[in-house]
Amino acid sequence: MAANHDIEEGTAFAPKFGADGLITAVAVDDASGEILMVAHMNADALTRTLNEGRVWYWSRSRQALWLKGETSGQIQTLVEMRVDCDQDCLIVKVRVGGDGGACHTGRTTCFYRRVENGVDGPRLVFI
């Protein structure tokens, strides 16, 4: 019980990576509060983010470190990082460079569609 108490109430940063070595990171625009994207970090990406102030992720599809915006110019600059109660998920508050987008589709956010129930079942509606 003491270990959980230390994780939940203590001041030591002890991120809990999953069996795949990753922790979920939710990128949020610091100015608007809008959720931009959800990605993952491994220990190296997390360390680089904290040391450099630019946000790094682990690309599961490419199996490689990924500096967000390296090719698009949409560099995410770290403003603040938060961790949830059991330290297995991060919120990364960022300022976005370039055109301010975060999604590879060119949109500001990756969450540009809403799920609605229709007559034929759930469908996606562009926001």
Q: Supply the pLDDT for residue 100.
A: 67
Assigned domain for 35 exists: yes
Assigned domain for 73 exists: yes
Q: How far is CA 54 from the centre of its chain?
A: 12
Assigned domain for 127 exists: no
The CATH number for 13's domain is 3.10.20.810
Q: Supply the pLDDT for residue 1.
A: 47
Assigned domain for 106 exists: no
Q: What is the pTM of this model?
A: 0.90
Assigned domain for 24 exists: yes
Q: Return the closest-CA partner of residue 34 out of 97, 93, 77.
A: 93
* Residue span of the structural domain in which 22 resides: 2-100
Domain count of the fold of the chain: 1
Q: Supply the pLDDT for residue 126.
A: 96
Q: Supply the pLDDT for residue 71.
A: 86
Mean pLDDT by 10 residues, the chain (127 residues): 80 96 97 96 98 97 94 93 97 90 89 95 96
